Amino acid sequence: MERQLIKGNEAIVKGAILAGCRAYYGYPITPASEIAQAAALYMPLVGGTFLQAESEIAAINMVYGASGTGQRVMTASSSPGISLKQEGISYIAGAELPCVIVDVMRGGPGLGNIAPEQSDYHQMVKGGGHGNYKNIVLAPNSAQEMCDLTMLAFELSDKYRNPAVVLADGFIGQMMEPVVFPKPVTEFPEKKWAIRGTVGDKRNLISSIELDPDDLERHNRKLQQKYAIISQTEVRFQEYELEDAEYILVAFGIVSRLVQSAVDTLREDGVKVGMLRPITLMPFPTLPIEKYAANERVKFFSVFELNNGQMVEDVRLAVNGKKPVKFYGRMGGNVPTIQELVDQVKKQMREL
């Protein structure tokens, strides 16, 4: 297959189009604007819709409308913009509409800065808007995965009638790498619930209202059941040098690339270290972590993030006290060097 050198942000749009997405609604924000720009460039050429909305709020509600018609639709933004979208995401989750939301995370809180952070983990993985809902969250760590996981996001989103998030960061968005693009998707699931303005779907209703407490509880239980099924069937993760690892480093997104290099360096020094990388953050790879936590060989887990320690909470829940769980995070857009990670692991080993 031919490889194309391409920015992660652009790979997302090409992947989306190959996945059958023909509608993009968004609002410009650094460092996600290249996604809107690429969508503006390509959507009209394939007969799709690109619309720069008046606000993040309008954009996500346009997504709500387009998704209600059964169309594969997406939006993209960066952290402050995602905060604004949360209202709409809650309605989309409540109405059980599929859609893909890309979050190219930047530094916060507030306006923060445009440098890479991973501080949207909580707002995307744990819900973010009001109500008992969860997004499906996929975390790419390469330009190739920006394409592949965007395509997967459309598939899972349709399959479970649930918003799916591609949680990237400024680094992966800006980075150019070779990407092999797959063939366009030609088979799509039937959407009997969609509203298409025909006699056949006149009884259909897209709504998140359930006035009766029993009805709303039933609806919520159904949602939780769905998340449970997703947790059982859709977990994806990468294992790197874990066969004999005594120390397990956990990282997602761009940090996993740094940690992978740190593992190589530590291995050269004879340290038996490996990496477990969650590719799906919701569902979280709880069982694999539980399995390693139960292994006598493993001495500790160490979580590296570009935030104040968000994913580490899920690692701790999975480890459940069986082994120490260390954490090292950088914030503000600062990215650790490989040596910094290596030194941290060695320090944590000494402290054990």
Partner 1 sequence: MSTKILSKSEGFYDVYDRRPGTDKDTTHYCPGCGHGILHKLIAEALTDFGVKDNAIIISPVGCSVFAYYYFSAGNLQAAHGRAPAVATGVKRSLPESIVISYQGDGDLAAIGGNEILHAANRGEAISVFFVNNAIYGMTGGQMAPTTLIGQKTTTTPYGRTVANEGYPIKMSEIIASLTAPVYVERVMMADTKSISNTRRAVRKAIKNQVEKKGFSFVEVLSTCPTGWKMTAPQAEEWIKTTLAQHFPLGVLKDISGDVEPLNLDHHLLPTDRIGKAINLPEADADQPKFVIPDTVNEEIKISGFGGQGVLSLGVWLSEFGMREGLNVSWIPSYGPEMRGGTAHCHVKLANRPIGSPLVVHPTILVATNRPSLEKFEKEVIPGGKIFWDNSLMDITPSRTDIIRYPVPATEIANQLGNTKTANVVMLGVITGVSEFLDENIVRRTLPQIFKKKHLLDINMQAFNKGLEVAASLKRIA
> Which residues, in sequence order, are CB contacts of 311 under 8 Å at separation 6+?
118, 121, 125, 250, 252, 278, 281, 303, 305
Question: Closest separation between CB of residue 103 and partner 1, Å?
Answer: 17
Question: 44, exposed or middle or buried, with CB in 10 Å at 0-12, 13-18, 19+?
Answer: exposed
Residue 314 near residue 290, CB atoms below 8 Å: no
Interacting residue with partner 1 among 28, 37, 83, 113 (CB under 8 A): 113
Question: Closest separation between CB of residue 245 and partner 1, Å?
Answer: 16
Neighbours of 90 (CB within 10 A): 19
Interacting residue with partner 1 among 88, 128, 278, 329 (CB under 8 A): 88
Q: Based on CB atoms, which residue is closest to partner 1, 2 or 296?
A: 2
Size of the site for partner 1 (CB under 8 A): 81
Q: Using CB under 8 A, which residues numbered 250 to 269 contact partner 1?
A: 257-258, 260-261, 264
Question: Closest separation between CB of residue 275 and partner 1, Å?
Answer: 10
Q: Using CB under 8 A, which residues numbered 160 to 219 contact partner 1?
A: 170-171, 174-178, 181, 184, 186, 195-199, 201-202, 204-209, 211-212
Which residue reads 């120490």 in tokens? Answer: 324
Residue 8 near residue 177, CB atoms below 8 Å: yes
- Residue 52 identity (one-letter amino acid): Q
Residue 35 near residue 76, CB atoms below 8 Å: yes
Question: Closest separation between CB of residue 209 and partner 1, Å?
Answer: 6
**Residue 241 lies near partner 1 (rule: CB under 8 A):** no
Q: Using CB under 8 A, which residues numbered 4 to 63 contact partner 1?
A: 4-5, 13-14, 17-18, 22-23, 25, 42, 45-49, 51, 53-55, 57-59, 61-63
Question: Closest separation between CB of residue 317 and partner 1, Å?
Answer: 28
Q: How far apart are the C-alpha atoms of 216 and 309, rounded to whole Å?
A: 33
**Residue 3 lies near partner 1 (rule: CB under 8 A):** yes
Q: How far apart are the C-alpha atoms of 41 and 49, rounded to whole Å?
A: 11
* Helices marked H in 47-185: 56-68, 79-94, 121-125, 143-160, 170-174
**Residue 235 lies near partner 1 (rule: CB under 8 A):** no
Interacting residue with partner 1 among 225, 232, 233, 337 (CB under 8 A): 337
Q: How far apart are the C-alpha atoms of 206 and 219, rounded to whole Å?
A: 14
Interacting residue with partner 1 among 12, 21, 36, 66 (CB under 8 A): 66
Residue span binding partner 1 (CB under 8 A) among the ranges 67-75, 156-164, 219-227, 310-318: 67-75
Interacting residue with partner 1 among 116, 127, 140, 285 (CB under 8 A): 116
Question: Closest separation between CB of residue 56 and partner 1, Å?
Answer: 11
Question: 326, exposed or middle or buried, with CB in 10 Å at 0-12, 13-18, 19+?
Answer: buried
Q: Based on CB atoms, which residue is closest to partner 1, 283 or 336?
A: 336
Helix (H, G, I), strand (E, B) or coil at 194: coil
Question: Closest separation between CB of residue 324 and partner 1, Å?
Answer: 25
Q: Based on CB atoms, which residue is closest to partner 1, 182 or 229?
A: 182
Whether the link from the prior residue into 283 is cis, omega within 30° of 0, is yes
Q: How far apart are the C-alpha atoms of 85 and 129, rounded to whole Å?
A: 9
Q: Based on CB atoms, which residue is closest to partner 1, 230 or 342?
A: 342
